[in-house]
Chain A
Amino acid sequence: MLLRIDGLHKHFGANHVLKGIDLRIDEGQVVAIIGRSGSGKSTLLRSINGLETFDDGLIEVDGERLYAGQTDLRALRQKVGMVFQQFNLFPHLSAGQNVMLAPQVVKKTPVAECETIARAMLAKVGLAEKFDAYPDQLSGGQQQRVAIARALAMQPKVLLCDEITSALDPELVNEVLAVVKQLASEGMTLIMVTHEMRFAREVGDKLVFMYQGRVHESGHPKDLFASPQTPELQNFIGAIN
């Protein structure tokens, strides 16, 4: 087991957004978290690398434990990469520099080696020739692929994807999903909050349906889509199709 979440609770003021989440994820699994907006799925994802604090419970990633209120997140974050809906590339740095920065600054890897890593990662996402391009010279899909390369350069154990295709024009969605699919086939552990149901069904090993701050139903995507057990999931799938 690579990732374990036990009894995770979170409040935003009076709003109880996570009401005791328990989750187990094995190495190499591709997990899709689905649910309506406000169901807590993004908050759950962002808790895993400490971008959201939580009030109670425990998260453990590859032996790195995260408790409520913990402030030293450096070790955990080196094991957990993240890709965002809005890409969040560093606009003052070229694609290559974006990818090189963290290995160089955080891991103190020599610059030459960082460049080798960056070139390899950009090649992996199909952007080898864009090493010197700046983010504003790239399409949304290309920016998102650079963002994936940037996260991969830290060699994370698990990659969190927070609605990574939601800000893209429809014709650019597939190039990003293709990269994700390739990562999945290479054995990368992926946890994605997504609205791409077809992708979740095809590529996912596990589907987690969040409803009102709880894991309402989870299992293999094919089973869940074929025979949802709860009326809420039936509704949700119905609403999507």
Chain B
Amino acid sequence: MNEFSTWDILRNLGFGALWTIGLSLTAFVLGGSAGLLLLTARMSKKVWLQRAARAYIEFFQGTPLLMQLFMVFFGIALLGVDVPPWLAAALGLTLFSSAYLAEIWRGCVEAIPKGQWEASASLAMTWLEQMRHVILPQALRIAVAPTVGFSVQIVKGTAVTSIIGFAELTKTGSMLANATFQPFMVFGFVALGYFILCYPLSHFAAHLERKFHAPAH
């Protein structure tokens, strides 16, 4: 059973990488949606909503992702609900991403000059109308590059979910390393796998940053 060819290793790692991609996409999409709600709460005029969002963001920014995953994985299990690793991983990463994305986007919203708020207010728009038609369309332009940049953090963050037993790229790698006794080669491939996923994203972010740097339409 030690007869793993390099091809077998790569094939299995490729399969693990698919889970990494799936988990990253899930965390990005769900985290982004939750992040948008969080952003609205964070910028709301209702003080309790603002505080709650801030506490949430500070908690998830101030604790390691690993602890957050443990809390989701073991915490929900305490309630008598059995959480499969993939669900705990997706939920944990979603919570984590939403906190960071909300904060990145808040910075972008706050970068919009005060005059834009005043002009739209003087036209009798409500807060939501101002956000929807004036502030967010402009903030979005600034947000694209850092958001894509953060997606790299999400991809790398998925590695942590291997600890709760989710068989993504890293977990697949450690299983193969145990089976083949060739940890250096296996983890070399694992690292290469992450690089192949992240490098284009980083480049894409840098490209977007250049593209959106000058105001255009």
Q: Chain A: residues with CB nearer than 8 A to chain B?
A: 49-51, 73-74, 77-78, 80-82, 84, 86, 88-92, 94, 101-102, 105-106, 134, 136, 147, 150-151, 154
Contact among A84, A94, A150 with B118 in the assembled complex (CB-CB below 8 Å): A84
**Which B residues are CB-close (under 8 A) to A151?**
122-123
Which bucket holds chain B's interface residue count?
A: 20 to 34
Q: Contact at A90–B217, with CB atoms within 8 Å? A: no
Q: Contact at B124–A74, with CB atoms within 8 Å? A: yes
Q: Contact at A78–B124, with CB atoms within 8 Å? A: yes
Q: Closest CB of chain B to A42's CB: distance in Å?
A: 12
Q: Contact at B138–A91, with CB atoms within 8 Å? A: yes
**Which B residues are CB-close (under 8 A) to A92?**
137-138, 141, 217
Indicate if B12 sits at the interface (CB-CB under 8 A).
no
**Which B residues are CB-close (under 8 A) to A147?**
119
Q: Contact at B125–A136, with CB atoms within 8 Å? A: no
Q: A88-B116, A90-B134, A105-B133 are in contact. Are A150 and B123 (CB under 8 A)?
A: yes
Q: Contact at B118–A88, with CB atoms within 8 Å? A: yes
* Interface-central residue, B113, B121, B124, B126, by most chain A CB under 10 Å: B124
**Which A residues are CB-close (under 8 A) to B123?**
77, 81, 101-102, 106, 150-151, 154
Indicate if B129 sits at the interface (CB-CB under 8 A).
yes
CB-nearest residue of chain B to A75? B124
Q: Contact at B217–A134, with CB atoms within 8 Å? A: yes
Q: How far is the CA of A134 from the CA of B126 in the complex (A)?
A: 24
Q: Contact at A101–B133, with CB atoms within 8 Å? A: yes
Q: How far is the CA of A90 from the CA of B121 in the complex (A)?
A: 12
Q: How far is the CA of A101 from the CA of B116 in the complex (A)?
A: 13
**Which B residues are CB-close (under 8 A) to A90?**
116, 119-120, 134, 138
Q: Closest CB of chain B to A137's CB: distance in Å?
A: 9
Q: How far is the CA of A55 from the CA of B42 in the complex (A)?
A: 28
8 Å CB contacts to A: which residues of B177-217? 215, 217
Q: Contact at B121–A86, with CB atoms within 8 Å? A: no
CB-nearest residue of chain B to A102? B123
Q: A86-B115, A92-B217 are in contact. Are A106 and B134 (CB under 8 A)?
A: no
Q: How far is the CA of A86 from the CA of B125 in the complex (A)?
A: 19
Q: A134-B217, A136-B215 are in contact. Are A51 and B138 (CB under 8 A)?
A: no
**Which A residues are CB-close (under 8 A) to B118?**
51, 84, 88
Q: How far is the CA of A101 from the CA of B115 in the complex (A)?
A: 16
**Which A residues are CB-close (under 8 A) to B122?**
49, 51, 77, 80-82, 84, 151
Q: Closest CB of chain B to A38's CB: distance in Å?
A: 20
Q: How far is the CA of A82 from the CA of B118 in the complex (A)?
A: 9
Q: Closest CB of chain B to A227's CB: distance in Å?
A: 36
**Which A residues are CB-close (under 8 A) to B126?**
74
* Interface-central residue, A49, A81, A102, A134, by most chain B CB under 10 Å: A102
Additional pairs, 19, CB under 8 Å, beyond known A90-B116, A102-B125, A134-B217: A51-B118, A51-B122, A74-B126, A77-B121, A80-B122, A82-B119, A84-B115, A88-B115, A88-B119, A89-B119, A90-B138, A92-B137, A92-B217, A102-B123, A102-B124, A105-B125, A106-B123, A151-B122, A151-B123
Q: How far is the CA of A34 from the CA of B121 in the complex (A)?
A: 25
**Which A residues are CB-close (under 8 A) to B119?**
82, 84, 88-90, 147
Contact among A88, A89, A105 with B129 in the assembled complex (CB-CB below 8 Å): A105
CB-nearest residue of chain B to A85? B115
**Which B residues are CB-close (under 8 A) to A51?**
118, 121-122
8 Å CB contacts to A: which residues of B91-118? 113, 115-116, 118
Q: What are 28 of the A-B contact pairs (CB < 8 Å)?
A: A50-B121, A51-B118, A73-B121, A77-B121, A77-B122, A80-B122, A81-B123, A82-B119, A82-B122, A84-B115, A84-B118, A84-B119, A86-B115, A88-B115, A88-B118, A90-B120, A90-B138, A91-B138, A91-B215, A92-B137, A92-B138, A92-B217, A101-B123, A102-B123, A105-B133, A106-B129, A147-B119, A151-B123
**Which B residues are CB-close (under 8 A) to A89?**
119
CB-nearest residue of chain A to B138? A92
**Which B residues are CB-close (under 8 A) to A106?**
123-125, 129
Q: Closest CB of chain B to A74's CB: distance in Å?
A: 5
